[in-house]
Amino acid sequence: MKILIKDVLLKGATQDIFINNGSIEEISGRCTREADKVINGRNKAALPSLINGHTHAAMTLFRGFADDMPLKNWLEEKIWALESKLTEEDVYWGTKLACLEMIKNGVTAFNDMYWHWEGTARAAAEMGVRGLISAVFIDMFDRKKGQEQIELNRALFDLSERYKPYVTFTFGPHAIYTVSEGSLQWMRDFSEKHNILIHMHLAETLDENRFADEKYGLTPVKFLDHIGVLSERFIGCHGCVLNEDDCRTLRERRAKLVHIPVSNLKLAVGSIFPHFLMKNEGIPYCFGTDGCASNNHLDLIETMKFASLIAKFANHDPTMLPARETFDIATKAAAGIFNLGDWEIEVGKSPDIILIDLNRPEFVPNFDIWSDIVYASNGSVVDTVICMGRVLMENRYVPGEEDILRKVKKTAKALVAR
């Protein structure tokens, strides 16, 4: 598929962009090549797409089902009760909605952890986005359960071949308080052998750190390091309760983090991602939305604003996380973490591309496009989405969206009535 974007704003100049099978072959003032699809880029800006570093996509099914509750009651009475009834078909539809919502917000890749792996994989592949998909791995320190999960994960790893190039299999050990040392060590070895990313909740709450201290006499990071799980393939999500020593260890092991500010604030976890430590140590990190039960929106532009503003406020320093740096973390840095290549709109590179509609109040006067995107807009400014060389959205329309909305409404209502 050859796509030609005409007259689009790119790095301050009006350009034509020619894309062949997802790879940018020409950027010039006037491109005359033949294309299968020509997109009018006038009054639009071309940017690399956004990458969602942590979500549970199918939890769109639970959006608005339970909010404003104490964490423990919310999880145990509401979320786990519903999750126990989920089928793969439910997960498939919930993920279809999540992918639709992410596309509408300019997100083309997401790092997922959830139940019924194949439901998520099927939906991501059908929607044409990039899913880094893990099955939640929980054994509750039970050897038999651990063995079952290991077998399941082996099988899913093999199955994931079927969903290429859309889906990449990853490991999703839930957290240090739900997964045994033995299972973590198995994932460590399998991950090293097959170069698989490990996606794990890490130091999200004070309770988690208390658990680690009581069980292992260590912080979560130090425990994972002690059993050799930290590596350049390790991606820790949340990281609200990290000290300087933890951060030094994460850097030494070349591990990565995902900052998820909206969820952390909404669930009132009691501590926030120490942006200044990350910066000091040079630890790569990106942003995630979390699932729709705890955010409740998969809008990564909104998340960028929260992340930047919380970093400024928490550090008493308005120069922290400036707009351009924030945007680069959500795009370039994230692509690095998930091995998606060089996420720049340049000849010879293959980032996914979004077009932003500049013909809106948010982009007037438009002194600084990074500031306008991070501080003045939200996902609704995204007009067009191109992922792996295919146009997924144009003029804010995604083919088939009405069907997804209708079907998910039914699915969610049937689920809570079950």
Site for a copy of itself in 81-140 (CB under 8 A): 97, 100-101, 104
3-state secondary structure 227-287: CCCCCCCEEEEECCCCCHHHHHHHHHCCCEEEECHHHHHHCCCCCCCCHHHHHHHCCCEEE
The span from the CA of 280 to the CA of 247, in Å, is 9
* Count, residues near a copy of itself per rule CB under 8 A: 71
Place of tokens 């099988």: 155
- Among 107, 283, 310, 354, the residue binding a copy of itself under the rule CB under 8 A is 310
Q: What's the min distance (Å) between Cβ of 74 and a copy of itself? A: 7
The DSSP annotation for 359-398 comes to -SGGGSS-S-HHHHHHHH--GGGEEEEEETTEEEEBTTB-
Q: What's the min distance (Å) between Cβ of 371 and a copy of itself? A: 4
Q: What's the min distance (Å) between Cβ of 291 and a copy of itself? A: 12
Of 155 and 416, which has the nearer Cβ to a copy of itself?
A: 416
Cβ atoms of 108 and 129 within 8 Å: the answer is yes
Cβ atoms of 56 and 114 within 8 Å: the answer is yes
Binders of a copy of itself among residues 335 to 374 (CB under 8 A) are 359-362, 364-369, 371-372
Taking contact as CB under 8 A, which single stretch among the options 177-185, 213-221, 275-283, 297-305 is the one that binds a copy of itself?
Answer: 297-305
Taking contact as CB under 8 A, which single stretch among the options 19-27, 185-193, 241-249, 408-416 is the one that binds a copy of itself?
Answer: 408-416
Place of tokens 């669930």: 267
Of 39 and 307, which has the nearer Cβ to a copy of itself?
A: 307
Binders of a copy of itself among residues 49 to 88 (CB under 8 A) are 60-61, 63-65, 67-71, 74
Contact between 266 and a copy of itself by CB under 8 A: the answer reads: yes
Provide the 8-state DSSP code for 412.
Answer: H
- Among 81, 244, 313, 342, the residue binding a copy of itself under the rule CB under 8 A is 313
- Among 16, 208, 302, 383, the residue binding a copy of itself under the rule CB under 8 A is 302
The amino acid present at 20, given as its one-letter code, is N
